[in-house]
Amino acid sequence: MRTPLIAGNWKMHLAPTEARKYAIRLRVRLADVRGRDILVFPPFTALPAVIEELGRSGIACGGQNLHWEKQGAFTGEISAPFLADLGCSHVLVGHSERRHIFGETDEDCGRKTRAALDAGLTPILCVGETLEQREADATRQVIERQLAAGLKPVQEDEKFVLAYEPVWAIGTGRTASPEQADEVHRHIRAWLGSRFTPDLAARVRILYGGSVKPENVDDLMKLPDLDGVLVGGAALNADSFDRIVRFLP
């Protein structure tokens, strides 16, 4: 059985003081949760405060992005060893906003995945199609291309997580229907079985991200190949995130 993973991406919200207060609120509210993993992605500047407050709460922290080099003349960037030293356990790779706003390529994602693994971080590789690609019936081809490049440097025994986030459903209020999400998640798991082994395909967690909210999380989490959610806006509200974490199986 794959343990469900509920992850909240705070994006460019919550300065360190606000983030610390919010982390305390989550730590108290979610203290009794069992049977699922909880992970938050604060902004880089808030990571020390959030990690300090969450401590041994069981809520893990991750970085929203990373550079593939360990150090160097890369102004404004942050490396995997820096994140690991802060106490991060995970890092997002290839989030749709990084791909479509900042121009990150599939090859960039592969290098970042390798850098994360080398630093002892668990990469969460994000894949997904735009509305134009879906309407052109190219969803599978796009996702297979992103997976092939992003996971190219990964070995069978290395740990990673995947997140399917249809670009047309991120921050738009539109959510992939359970049937749409189920179809893509099943295809991703089948692809993993052909690219690696059935054993790896059976153990890798595949999340869904795209306007996840309390009203739709229960239906999404009933899907057999959906192992958790990557939450955006709803992760910034304690009531909403609490309800999502406590999804009804």
Q: Does 171 appear as a known binding residue?
A: yes
Angle, alpha carbons 168-64-241 (nearest 5°): 70
Q: Quick one: which H or E segment has residue 241?
A: helix 238-245
Which residues, in sequence order, are CB contacts of 46 under 8 Å at separation 6+? 10, 14, 15, 16, 18, 19, 20
Q: How far is CA 240 from the centre of its chain?
A: 18
Is 9 annotated in a binding site? The answer is yes
Residues marked active site are found at 95, 165
Residue in 200, 180, 183 with CA at minimum distance from that of residue 192: 200
What tokens does 213 get?
């909210």
Note the Cα 178 to chain centre separation in Å.
Answer: 19
Amino acid at 29: R
Tell me the HSE value of 119 on the side-chain side, using a 13 A CA sphere.
Answer: 31
Phi, psi (degrees; rounded to nearest 5) at 57: -70, -20
Distances (CA, A) of 56 to 27, 31, 44, 60: 10, 10, 20, 9
How far is it, in rounded angstroms, from Cα 207 to Cα 216?
14
Question: According to the annotation, is 112 in a ligand binding site?
Answer: no
In the block, which residue shows the tokens 């880089």? 44
Annotated binding residue at 8?
Answer: no
110 annotated to bind ligand: no
Helix axes 139-150 and 106-118, enclosed angle (nearest 10): 40
Binding region for substrate? 9-11, 171, 211, 232-233
Binding site per annotation, positions: 9-11, 171, 211, 232-233
